[in-house]
Amino acid sequence: MNKDELKDMLNMVADGTLSVDDAVNKIRLQPYDDLDFAKIDTHRGVRQGADEVIYGAGKTAEQICKIVEHILAKSAKSVLITRMSADKAEVVAKRLPLFYDAVSGIGIAGERKEQEPVGNIVIATGGTSDIPVAEEAALTAEYYGNRVTRLYDVGVSGVHRLLDNAQVLADAKVVIAVAGMEGALASVIGGMVDCPVIAVPTSVGYGASFNGLSALLSMLNSCASGVSVVNIDNGFGAGYFASMINKI
Amino acid sequence: MNKDELKDMLNMVADGTLSVDDAVNKIRLQPYDDLDFAKIDTHRGVRQGADEVIYGAGKTAEQICKIVEHILAKSAKSVLITRMSADKAEVVAKRLPLFYDAVSGIGIAGERKEQEPVGNIVIATGGTSDIPVAEEAALTAEYYGNRVTRLYDVGVSGVHRLLDNAQVLADAKVVIAVAGMEGALASVIGGMVDCPVIAVPTSVGYGASFNGLSALLSMLNSCASGVSVVNIDNGFGAGYFASMINKI
Amino acid sequence: MNKDELKDMLNMVADGTLSVDDAVNKIRLQPYDDLDFAKIDTHRGVRQGADEVIYGAGKTAEQICKIVEHILAKSAKSVLITRMSADKAEVVAKRLPLFYDAVSGIGIAGERKEQEPVGNIVIATGGTSDIPVAEEAALTAEYYGNRVTRLYDVGVSGVHRLLDNAQVLADAKVVIAVAGMEGALASVIGGMVDCPVIAVPTSVGYGASFNGLSALLSMLNSCASGVSVVNIDNGFGAGYFASMINKI
Amino acid sequence: MNKDELKDMLNMVADGTLSVDDAVNKIRLQPYDDLDFAKIDTHRGVRQGADEVIYGAGKTAEQICKIVEHILAKSAKSVLITRMSADKAEVVAKRLPLFYDAVSGIGIAGERKEQEPVGNIVIATGGTSDIPVAEEAALTAEYYGNRVTRLYDVGVSGVHRLLDNAQVLADAKVVIAVAGMEGALASVIGGMVDCPVIAVPTSVGYGASFNGLSALLSMLNSCASGVSVVNIDNGFGAGYFASMINKI
Amino acid sequence: MNKDELKDMLNMVADGTLSVDDAVNKIRLQPYDDLDFAKIDTHRGVRQGADEVIYGAGKTAEQICKIVEHILAKSAKSVLITRMSADKAEVVAKRLPLFYDAVSGIGIAGERKEQEPVGNIVIATGGTSDIPVAEEAALTAEYYGNRVTRLYDVGVSGVHRLLDNAQVLADAKVVIAVAGMEGALASVIGGMVDCPVIAVPTSVGYGASFNGLSALLSMLNSCASGVSVVNIDNGFGAGYFASMINKI
Amino acid sequence: MNKDELKDMLNMVADGTLSVDDAVNKIRLQPYDDLDFAKIDTHRGVRQGADEVIYGAGKTAEQICKIVEHILAKSAKSVLITRMSADKAEVVAKRLPLFYDAVSGIGIAGERKEQEPVGNIVIATGGTSDIPVAEEAALTAEYYGNRVTRLYDVGVSGVHRLLDNAQVLADAKVVIAVAGMEGALASVIGGMVDCPVIAVPTSVGYGASFNGLSALLSMLNSCASGVSVVNIDNGFGAGYFASMINKI
Amino acid sequence: MNKDELKDMLNMVADGTLSVDDAVNKIRLQPYDDLDFAKIDTHRGVRQGADEVIYGAGKTAEQICKIVEHILAKSAKSVLITRMSADKAEVVAKRLPLFYDAVSGIGIAGERKEQEPVGNIVIATGGTSDIPVAEEAALTAEYYGNRVTRLYDVGVSGVHRLLDNAQVLADAKVVIAVAGMEGALASVIGGMVDCPVIAVPTSVGYGASFNGLSALLSMLNSCASGVSVVNIDNGFGAGYFASMINKI
Amino acid sequence: MNKDELKDMLNMVADGTLSVDDAVNKIRLQPYDDLDFAKIDTHRGVRQGADEVIYGAGKTAEQICKIVEHILAKSAKSVLITRMSADKAEVVAKRLPLFYDAVSGIGIAGERKEQEPVGNIVIATGGTSDIPVAEEAALTAEYYGNRVTRLYDVGVSGVHRLLDNAQVLADAKVVIAVAGMEGALASVIGGMVDCPVIAVPTSVGYGASFNGLSALLSMLNSCASGVSVVNIDNGFGAGYFASMINKI
């Protein structure tokens, strides 16, 4: 149950369509359901404006299914699943309606929401290899109802590609800059726009990229103001954070 | 010259108060002024919505004075200076009107803007030792016209102090979480609110805090959605980023 | 031979059931048996109150069998084996009576002790992915006769799940806090209880979690008093240490 | 107010010496006092069995004085202050009754408790240079009413010094092992005793000791069971943790 | 003695101005002079095309003087000294003719060569704080007879400052890119020019810049081709390397 | 289109073979082509003197084919592909003319240029295991028309092997020193020659070589002047950089 | 050809059995043979007292065979090969006489020398998992004609196992201490004996052992005098170094 | 009391000069004396062949004096003190006969032994800045009666300086190679000699030397056989270890 659903319900109470007791029951469930191996945060929609998301990497296909089924039955019409491998997705898809994107590992179980996207989140990558992380961010942002503009392979070693898209960047309400190796993309974009830039270092590269450490440090040290950083490869976190800002 | 000043000028052109040629001259200056040791970005207000800021740590008092004088003469009524030591501030104050806060090292040269603060940025710290960084963020945010609510010494080892201020947090449009050592503050707050949380690791601590590395990693790994991170001790960056969001 | 068995034997000497010479022989064996590739510490039960444990990761199935057979023949009725992969367990189970838990990799060879568990060790995890390490701790603690209460998936990003279980925590004599990523669980629990908290960082996570380093540093820097830390993923160590305290 | 004081008060309520309303007032104060720059946790004694402790390193002498005065006025007869430099101690001592130990940086403001120490905590160091950290642990443990046995300069490179004190170690209810450089002390002691060992790495050493990192890693990897670790140089944490166990 | 001096001498032999024996004596000195605490490489000019340079940081003023005096007496008319602190320079200047630049710590003892500079080395910095390292490079390159163009404070967070100087960069035969913090300058320049770029990370910055590590990794991971890297703050190395290329 | 091709075209304009309009059309294409997942830099030949290169590691065989086909159709007769695994090469070879070297992972699609190699780049390795990286450098340099002299397995632990090849080194215009483990090769060669040395650390080794970190640090700290460094295992970068210098 | 063979030959010259010219030819071969991918150091036996050893990890089976065949044909009767995987050994064994030990990966091609072992090298390990590295050391030392005493699984967490073998240690001329995890074995042994101790950290362990880093740092910080360290898992290096000392 | 003194005493017993009881008393003192803050290992001379050494860095001048006085009174005629700062030395020299070398920080209290030095330890440094560490090694080795040959400033960037001293190295029984920065000296020497080489990394350098880490890793990865390593800047350890070998 998210904030809007809560408001709807309270309006129903206000105009008598729903009895106070029924409303109380709906609201005053304990704030999470206990599946023993997982405590599902059914009030997260109310408290945080977005329903619980399942981090698929550390869970078995069986555990994912159980949590999804529980959530779909109790508190939401769809569930976002991140970092789900193709073989887990196959298992889940047999039991549940599932949209799955193999590039990003994003799955959406249940009914996909039909909604008019709002605002504008521009997602830029330094190279082609950064696309999986960028797509994790893009699909997350789209899941939450944001308009997303993709701007891939515009790394700073050919800065004219970036400048050529200055207008695309200028039209953004938020920018997500996804880059591995030297991670300079965030700084250059940060100096070009007047909206918040969320930097996502990726583990793309080799040698002294140290699995994304180089890009991470680089982005944290960005000389441009208006840049903040999420974990290496954390496309979901960037997409979610951008959504928060874009929808203000 | 910031965006509003630009608009004003263009309106003057529109109603004939300013000739097109004069406007062209004012706008078509080269976008930075070259002081040899520094290239001052006089168009930054137009491009990024906020005038150039001076990072005081790597400059001599003499260099700071020259840059400030140039900016005050050309493009702005006040200049924000960060990381200025007390002895540099003393030198600067002799030549220029200067507000200086010794705790945070923040200086404001020129006329301080009188403006009604907008929105609400809550700045929370884990402990008393994190206050200098928090004040850097707070004074930065206030300089840019934001309302700031301070919530200091609410670290997670006494989580009731945080819960007790749940309403203060709930009223925020953005939260800045400033903490050293284990840096858990960002995660706990991230789970309590539905607005963006900007995490600032501090170099407070000893031993395995490794000058802020522990807090930095901790914050990057936050399990809560809606958290992004800036550099260790980067109060300015957090304040600036929060301002961007708060003023959307 | 553990302390209780030693006392029993000495009582038998005291009441004449066992001759002094036989007792001497039983005690005055050399304090370890030499299997060439391993020196088995048969007096560890006497000296440390718990029999030798086999760390399965660095040994072949053949080596594990030989050590277990030797211990069962000489000094104990059961042996705890940690970090034993499923395929090694299969080999061992063909030669010896074996309980095996695939989630944690814990094996118990020989007769499992029937005993009334004492005290109360609460084992909490930040997420579902931390369960294997938590179970290593839980099964270890249970093997040594402790009562264990499991409290899984109560990470700090939904702190109400933790607060909701405040009473469960308050009833603990010792708490084991198992968490990866930002590892804040230990600090928050440390601030809620007045008993010792043993923190176990896990290698769960990705990117800047650096295989558990982030959680490890975070836990070492805990602002809460009464927290100490064991190695990353060291469920056994935590279970054993908790058992020591719980049984005082 | 600690647990015993709470019980006393409730007994006074039970036998009519204290009215219910007065008791309510005393208990139902907000659980911390807000000094603006610090939120003093006055209920910590109730919740955690030990009053608030002041970490002196990140605070000015003025801030320390204010917090101490507040605590002495409200909730306790004495306050422990850690990591207080000699010059801060001098300032504090002018305003408040203060015991100060320059070796460890420990201060105790207010009346020192006269109490019969209980149990037995043995504190061992690898060398002479580890004594300041060991004394921080020792004075902390003594402050909380524990008996402390000091066993200094018994590092493993002369293992006979340690073996010669086997009985001293055997008499411990808890051992604190304080060592820098290779940190092997914890493992060797861990293999000699059947009580919990708390390992404190110190930043003593040079070169590849990397300010205590070497000892920290070494202790986390201890092959001995029954060893847990606190932060580098964290004598206070070890003393507090040991006190918790010793007083069970 | 450098290559040109050698050729001159051989020509003198060829035309009879110098006897073969005298030439042999001049050339066949042992290839270094032994001052006990230093072995001075008097043939370096022949072998490497540039005379011995003195790294001042690890030597006393006395040692510097002795080495300089020896070189000036034996094999060269001037000596370059790097990383010489102001107080050492003061001592040296009392005994020897010395040009000294306090910003970069560069000293030149003996006669400064008058020579027409050749080629064109452009030295760019990200910020004002990088100037000392840039000047170490610039003065080194000038000492070896190269033309140097300074382009300071053109960091990528205001990429128009860099683009505006595209022609200056295009005219370079080699570029030295000096930057701390995120170090992106090298990549952006690397993508703009078709000549070699030598990247010098600086230790400017704070927090996660880790004394230049961030910039170093960033530069090593440059996506642009044609970029190579020298040690953090190694202005001398960059200037020397650039000179080698510029003078081919 | 590279610089020479551009000049040829302009000469055709000059002598009337090509109309100005056609020339304009050929030149004034947008400077990159957008394949959605990649923005191909078709002007790179003009701007940087060398056509776009494909980094094969982060791309699918399908993506590589599309980019190659696009480039061959638009702007060049051959394309260099680096880090292409054997199985990708197999797929590509079915669709396109391809030279492939399995040791280095280098592929050349399209017509291989027939050209007389110029200058002299000596490529030395410390051991046999460094050859794959050295070959990546060698094939890259040869692709760009440079003469390459291979000098493999001349590590410093048998320094006579290196001295024995002093003349080979002396004949170089540039040297590439490829070495893992202690990486001393670059320093020793740096002290022997008077031309630029490009050091390539390799990830060869085990234990404290930390995947090339040891060699990287060693090379960055080279005591010899005239040494610069590229990323670990970056044979391509070294070959390209050496080519730039060799062809000046 | 090793030193003894050289002396024998020179004696043959002295007594006329070998002509001077033949001797010159035998000695004055160039000091290495060039196999293109490898430069075989045929004079190493003369210069260093031990023939060339092949590091098998970075070479193909084909390369190993070629080098071995060359050496056996030219300069030695047997060749030591280290870090050779079982599948490479299988290939080599088909072409050449080969002794192969799968635990340590050591191979000896050609005739194994029959010789009376001299001196006494004691090789101790902390645990069973350290045996492969210990065997690499042991077989290396035995190959060079040293007597080896194995003392396995005597880690410091059961220090009586070590003390019980005090006499074995006292009889050593050199000790090799092989241990992973906390690596304390070297210090404790270092304090017990008056002969050199060579410490070999192993990559055994998990979590904060960081692949041997913990043991490495620990051993480098050994408080005992008379301890030096080789690379992680470098059994060969330790065995060779011990042989040098043992045979003095 | 060292081994020789022990033998002398036993001979006195044998020929009746000393009564058995007196001998017993002299020998059967407890093996260390307890000064409370230090346990002095008076039997170390017997057990390890060298008397206790005082590590001055972590002790006050007062503590040093007390330990020295105790040792001089009980068990030795002189005491070696390492890492003693000049100001501590001044205090000690007022109370005790003291030789002090300010470059290395080495002090010798009591009578300096007059003895004919034996064997030959060659100590080589890469540069002038490494001399303090080299002198710590040299004075230590000389204290224990070894002949020492100094060979300073022979770093590998001018490898002819090293080759020119090939005979000096060939005459060594042990070599100590002291070098910071890239630390290649150990490898090159290791390949030139057939005696053990002890490598001492120094913290000399800047930037990516990371206080000796670069040299340390480099030396651990030495491709030459016969090299082992001690801690960064550990001249004492190297001198002691070399003495052990030199005196076999």
Q: Which residues in chain A are contacts of B229 at CB distance < 8 A?
A: 220, 228-230
Q: What share of chain D is helix, strand, coil (3-state, %, to 5)?
A: 45, 20, 35
- The alpha carbon torsion through E138, E142, E144, E146 (nearest 10 deg) reads 100
Identify the pLDDT of residue B169.
92
Q: What is the β-pairing status of strands D174-179 and D118-125?
A: parallel
pLDDT of residue C138 exceeding 80: yes
Please state the ipTM of this predicted complex. 0.85
| pTM attached to this predicted model | 0.88
Q: CA A128 to CA A131: how far, in whole Å? A: 6
- Is C202 near chain B, with CB under 8 Å? no
Q: Which residue has the higher pLDDT, H83 or B73?
A: H83
Identify the pLDDT of residue C140.
96
Identify the pLDDT of residue H182.
75
Residue among G28, G33, G39 with most chain F CBs within 10 A, to mutate: G39
C-beta atoms of H58 and D160 within 8 A: no
Q: CA B68 to CA B53: how far, in whole Å? A: 9
C38 pLDDT band, cuts 50/70/90, is confident
| Average pLDDT for G67-74 | 88
A30 pLDDT band, cuts 50/70/90, is very low
- Centroid of chain to Cα G176: 11
pLDDT of residue B89 exceeding 80: yes
Q: CA B83 to CA A125: how far, in whole Å? A: 33
- Is H127 near chain E, with CB under 8 Å? yes
| Residue in E with minimal Cα distance to B229 | E208
Total residues found in chain H within this entry: 248
Identify the pLDDT of residue E28.
41
| Average pLDDT for A131-155 | 95
Phi, psi at D119, each rounded to 5°: 60, -150
Highest mean pLDDT among F53-62, F174-183, G84-93: G84-93
Highest mean pLDDT among A209-223, D135-149, F3-17, F146-160: D135-149
Q: Which of F38, F231, F233 is nearest residue A128 as measured by Cβ atoms? A: F38
Contacts of A57 (CB under 8 A, 6+ apart): A82, A83, A84, C129, C206
Q: CA E123 to CA E138: how far, in whole Å? A: 7
Total residues found in chain C within this entry: 248
pLDDT tens, E34-80? Answer: 777 777 765 555 555 566 789 999 899 999 999 999 889 877 889 99
Question: Which positions of chain D have pLDDT values less than 70?
Answer: 1-15, 19-33, 41-51
Query: Taking Cα atoms as reference points, which of G129, F22, E103, G219 lies closest to residue D209?
Result: G219
Instruction: Output the average pLDDT for chain D.
Output: 85
CA distances to A120, E177, H73, H76, H84 from H80, rounded to whole Å, are 73, 50, 15, 11, 10
pLDDT tens, G137-193? Answer: 999 999 999 999 999 999 888 787 888 888 899 899 999 999 998 788 999 999 888
Return the amino acid letter for H102: A
Q: Which residues in chain B are contacts of A245 at CB distance < 8 A?
A: 196, 245, 248
Give the burial string for H111-126 (b: 16+ CB within 10 Å, else e): eeeeeeeebbbbbbbb
pLDDT tens, H58-90? Answer: 899 999 999 999 889 877 889 999 999 999 999
Identify the pLDDT of residue C233.
96
Identify the pLDDT of residue A28.
41
Identify the pLDDT of residue E192.
87
| Average pLDDT for H12-39 | 63
pLDDT tens, H99-113? Answer: 999 999 999 999 877
Identify the pLDDT of residue G29.
39
Q: CA E181 to CA D115: how far, in whole Å? A: 55
Identify the pLDDT of residue A65.
94
Identify the pLDDT of residue H41.
63
Identify the pLDDT of residue D237.
95
The 10 Å Cβ neighbour count of residue A10 is 12
CA distances to A24, B58, D205, E132, E182 from A218, rounded to whole Å, are 50, 19, 32, 22, 4
Cα within 13 Å of Cα(H129), Cβ side? 17
Identify the pLDDT of residue G228.
95
The mean-pLDDT minimum among E126-130, E157-161, G101-105 falls in: E157-161
Give the burial string for B129-157 (b: 16+ CB within 10 Å, else e): bbbbbbbbbbbbbbbbebebbbbbbbbbb
Q: Which residues in chain E are contacts of F53 at CB distance < 8 A?
A: 225
Instruction: Output the average pLDDT for chain C.
Output: 85
Q: What share of chain C is helix, strand, coil (3-state, %, to 5)?
A: 45, 20, 35
| Residue in A with minimal Cα distance to E127 | A223
Identify the pLDDT of residue D20.
60
C-alpha distance from E227 to closest chain B C-alpha (Å): 25
DSSP conformation letters of H45-84:
HHHHSS---EEGGGS-HHHHHHHHHHHHHHT-SEEEEES-
Instruction: Output the average pLDDT for chain A.
Output: 85
Angle at G213 between CA G161 and CA D230, to 5 degrees: 75
Contacts of C40 (CB under 8 A, 6+ apart): C32, C33, C34, C52, C67, C70, C71, C74
pLDDT of residue F34 exceeding 80: no
Q: Which of E161, E206, E208 is nearest residue B39 as measured by Cβ atoms? A: E161
DSSP conformation letters of E4-60:
HHHHHHHHHHHTTSS-HHHHHHHH-S-SSEE-SS-EE-TTHHHHHSS---EEGGGS-
pLDDT of residue G28 exceeding 50: no
Q: Which residue has the higher pLDDT, F17 or B150?
A: B150
Q: What is the β-pairing status of strands D106-110 and D98-101?
A: antiparallel
pLDDT of residue H143 exceeding 90: yes
Identify the pLDDT of residue G23.
58
Cα within 13 Å of Cα(H103), Cβ side? 17
Angle at G130 between CA G129 and CA G134, to 5 degrees: 140
Query: Taking Cα atoms as reference points, which of A78, A74, A81 lies closest to residue A113?
Result: A78
Identify the pLDDT of residue H8.
67
pLDDT of residue G43 exceeding 70: no
Q: What is the β-pairing status of strands D33-34 and D39-40?
A: antiparallel
pLDDT of residue H212 exceeding 90: yes
Task: Provide the phi-psi class of D153: left if phi over 0, else alpha when psi is between -120 and 50, else beta.
Answer: left
User: Quick one: tokens of E199?
Assistant: 């990247």
Contact G120, G149 (CB under 8 A): yes
Query: Taking Cα atoms as reference points, which of C68, F223, A32, A84 lies closest to residue H155?
Result: F223
- Centroid of chain to Cα F5: 21
Task: State the angle between helix axes of C61-74 and C86-95 in degrees (0 to 180), rounded to the nearest 10.
Answer: 40
The mean-pLDDT minimum among C1-15, E148-162, G208-222, H139-153 falls in: C1-15
Residue among D104, D131, D150, D206 with most chain H CBs within 10 A, to mutate: D206
- Centroid of chain to Cα F62: 23
Identify the pLDDT of residue F112.
76
| Average pLDDT for E126-131 | 93
Instruction: Output the average pLDDT for chain G.
Output: 85
pLDDT of residue G6 exceeding 70: no
pLDDT of residue G19 exceeding 70: no
Kindly provide the residue ranges of all beta strands, DSSP E only, lying in C83-188, ordered along the sequence. 98-101, 106-110, 118-125, 146-151, 174-179
User: Quick one: tokens of H228?
Assistant: 């082992």
- Is A131 near chain E, with CB under 8 Å? no
Identify the pLDDT of residue C28.
41
C-beta atoms of H58 and D154 within 8 A: no
pLDDT of residue F28 exceeding 50: no
C29 pLDDT band, cuts 50/70/90, is very low
pLDDT tens, E171-189? Answer: 999 999 999 987 889 999 9
- Centroid of chain to Cα A123: 12
Identify the pLDDT of residue G234.
96
| Residue in A with minimal Cα distance to E157 | A191
Q: Which residues in chain D are contacts of C236 at CB distance < 8 A?
A: 225
Beta-sheet strand order (sheet of A106-110): A54-55, A78-82, A106-110, A98-101
- What is the 3-class SS of chain A, one letter each residue? CCHHHHHHHHHHHHCCCCCHHHHHHHHCCCCCEECCCCEECCCHHHHHCCCCCEEHHHCCHHHHHHHHHHHHHHCCCEEEEECCCHHHHHHHHHHCCEEEECCCCEEEEECCCCCCCEEEEEEEECCHHHHHHHHHHHHHHHHCCEEEEEECCCCHHHHHHHHCCHHHHHCCCEEEEEECCCCCHHHHHHHHCCCCEEEEECCCCCHHHHHHHHHHHHHHCCCCCCEEECCCCCHHHHHHHHHHHHCC
Q: CA H64 to CA B222: how far, in whole Å? A: 49
Q: CA F114 to CA B7: how far, in whole Å? A: 60
- Distance spanning both ends of chain D, measured CA to CA: 20
C108 pLDDT band, cuts 50/70/90, is very high
pLDDT of residue C76 exceeding 90: no
- Is G240 near chain H, with CB under 8 Å? yes
C-beta atoms of A59 and C164 within 8 A: no
pLDDT tens, A93-142? Answer: 999 999 999 999 999 999 877 789 999 999 999 999 999 999 999 999 99
Contacts of G22 (CB under 8 A, 6+ apart): none
The runs of H, that is alpha helices, within chain H are 3-14, 20-27, 44-48, 61-74, 86-95, 131-143, 159-163, 166-170, 185-192, 213-220, 235-246
A29 pLDDT band, cuts 50/70/90, is very low
Q: CA F75 to CA F81: how far, in whole Å? A: 16
Evaluate whether chains B and C are touching (3 or more beta carbon pairs less than 8 Å apart).
Answer: yes
Q: Which residues in chain D are contacts of H62 at CB distance < 8 A?
A: none
